[in-house]
């Protein structure tokens, strides 16, 4: 496959002779593409069509994140994947409308508009918001459910994912200039998802497009945790460094490896408290800069939540903090018990970040 199809960074990079211990750029590319995964391979196969090449390249990071976060492969989950593919396309369209010719070449503009109208019909005529889109994609997924084993399910799902992402991109771009289609859309779809896992799925295409895949964090915990912070914030870079350091302490060696259970959360909270106290003592200027950057509603909200959680806990011991922290997470990020590895990583990131802030705001 032409390297330019997947990564302009690789195609245009400086050619350096690797040492024995450093993987070649092609080896890095193969690791990123995850060709051994059936869904990733099926999605990439669509790039054989010239009309789909660029759209596949731009939306592949979403499919890869689904795989890295171990979203279950049962057909019952297909509608959720289509739902988030739509929002991955929508987010990319909002940030990069100039990519329209690459994502919607030729007849694809008309096809994407038609898909939006089909989704509107599947939503029983409701304007397309989170709830109606969820219902519409359930209908779409059920209508495509394979009737027998002769169907290549991975290829079918990959086709549906690409179509859904294109529809979302169209909703954020060309549909805005079409009065008939614009009336089908609800403006509320532009607000961020509450859970970091959901936000990361929707952000994967635009982040990869802007940063290049070679510059993406190596572990999905680090990719998900970026969604907790304002872009390019000092706070985000600081806590990101703590999370990366802690993955090394825990001996994590692959994307599929990370301690995420409730007992593991005690260790994350303990590590977060220790890091927060250490930074406060050893680098007070950095802490002062972070607090200044966060001034206003963000800092006020953080202080109020920390006061409420620590009051419930009655102390700053991890074993006392964990229950109110879990309650806070279910209230503000994701209700219920996280079933998917990506959801578990999102919970780790949010709770570890909270623990880092406790010494900064609640300890004299």
Residue indicated by tokens 């709830």:
131
**CA gap 128, 142 in Å, rounded:** 19
Query: Quick check: 313 and 321 in contact, CB under 8 A?
Result: yes
Q: Which residues contact 14 (CB under 8 A, 6 or more apart)?
A: none
Q: Is the pLDDT of residue 20 over 60?
A: no
Where residue 135 falls among pLDDT bands split at 50, 70, 90? very high
Report the share of the chain in percent with pLDDT over 70: 94
* Tokens linked to 350: 């949010």
* pLDDT above 80: residue 64: yes
CA–CA gap between residue 336 and residue 331 (Å, rounded): 9
- Is residue 137 a contact partner of residue 82, using CB atoms and an 8 Å limit? yes
Neighbours of 335 (CB within 10 A): 10
pTM of the complete model: 0.89
DSSP 52: T
Burial label for 295, CB within 10 Å (0-12, 13-18, 19+), is exposed
What is d(CA 120, CA 135) in angstroms, rounded to the nearest whole number? 10
Least confident interval from 7-16, 85-94, 277-286, 334-343: 7-16
Q: What is the mean pLDDT of residues 121-131?
A: 88
Two structure tokens written together for 6? 């997947």
Q: Are 258 and 345 in contact (CB under 8 A)?
A: yes
Phi, psi of 150, rounded to the nearest 5 degrees: -75, -15
Cα-based distances in Å from 336 to 118, 195, 300, 347: 32, 12, 27, 11
In this prediction, residue 21 carries a pLDDT of 61
Distance CA(94)–CA(169), nearest Å, equals 8
Write the CB contacts of 343 (distance below 8 Å, at least 6 apart in sequence).
69, 195, 197, 334
Domain range list for the chain:
3-210, 217-362
Helices (H), the chain: 3-6, 8-11, 25-33, 38-45, 53-68, 78-95, 100-103, 108-122, 130-143, 153-172, 179-182, 196-211, 220-225, 234-249, 262-282, 284-293, 297-313, 318-332, 341-362
pLDDT at residue 22 in the model: 67
Q: Which residue would you say has higher pLDDT here, 11 or 101?
A: 101
DSSP assignment of 110-174: HHHHHHHHHHHHHTTT--B-HHHHHHHHHHHHHHT--SSTTS-HHHHHHHHHHHHHHHHHHHHTG
Q: What is the pLDDT of residues 239-254, one digit of tens each?
A: 999 999 999 999 999 9
Residue 7: pLDDT band (50, 70, 90) is very low
Q: Averaging pLDDT over each range in 29-33, 120-124, 126-130, 247-251, which range is the top one? A: 247-251
Phi, psi of 128 (to 5 degrees): -80, 100
Q: How many residues does the chain have?
A: 364
Instruction: For residue 193, give the DSSP letter.
Output: P
Residues 142 and 159: their CA atoms lie apart, in Å, by: 15
Query: How far from chain centre, in Å, is Cα 110?
Result: 28
Rg (CA), the chain: 22
């Amino acid at each position: 496959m032409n390297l330019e199809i997947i990564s302009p960074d690789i195609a245009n990079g400086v050619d350096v002779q690797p040492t024995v211990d450093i993987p070649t750029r092609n080896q890095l590319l193969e690791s990123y593409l995850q060709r051994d995964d059936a869904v990733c391979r099926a999605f990439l196969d669509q790039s054989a069509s010239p009309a789909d090449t660029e759209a596949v390249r731009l939306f592949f990071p979403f499919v890869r994140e689904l795989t890295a976060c171990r979203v279950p492969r049962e057909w019952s989950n297909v509608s959720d994947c289509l739902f988030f593919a739509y929002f991955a396309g929508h987010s990319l369209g909002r940030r990069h409308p100039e990519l329209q010719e690459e994502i919607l070449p030729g007849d694809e503009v008309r096809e994407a508009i038609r898909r939006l109208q089909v989704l509107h019909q599947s939503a029983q005529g409701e304007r397309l918001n989170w709830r109606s889109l969820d219902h519409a994609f359930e209908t779409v997924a059920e209508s495509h459910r394979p009737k027998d084993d002769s169907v290549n399910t991975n290829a079918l799902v990959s086709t549906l994912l690409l179509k859904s992402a294109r529809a979302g991109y169209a909703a954020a771009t060309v549909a805005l200039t079409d009065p008939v289609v614009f009336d089908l859309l609800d403006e509320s779809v532009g607000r961020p998802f509450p859970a970091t896992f959901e936000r990361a799925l929707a952000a994967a295409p635009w982040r990869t497009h802007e940063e290049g895949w070679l510059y993406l964090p190596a572990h999905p915990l680090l990719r998900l945790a970026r969604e907790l912070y304002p872009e390019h914030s000092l706070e985000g870079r600081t806590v990101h460094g703590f999370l990366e350091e802690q993955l090394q302490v825990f001996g994590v060696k692959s994307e599929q490896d990370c301690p995420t259970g409730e007992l593991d959360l005690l260790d994350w909270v303990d590590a977060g408290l220790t890091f927060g106290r250490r930074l406060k003592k050893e680098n007070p200027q950095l802490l002062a800069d972070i607090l200044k950057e966060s001034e206003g509603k963000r800092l006020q909200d953080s202080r109020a939540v920390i006061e409420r959680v620590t009051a419930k806990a009655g102390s700053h011991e991890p074993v006392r903090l964990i229950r109110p922290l879990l309650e806070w997470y279910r209230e503000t990020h994701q209700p219920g018990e996280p079933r998917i590895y990506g959801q578990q990583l999102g919970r780790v990131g949010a709770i570890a970040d909270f623990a880092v802030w406790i010494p900064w705001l609640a300890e004299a």
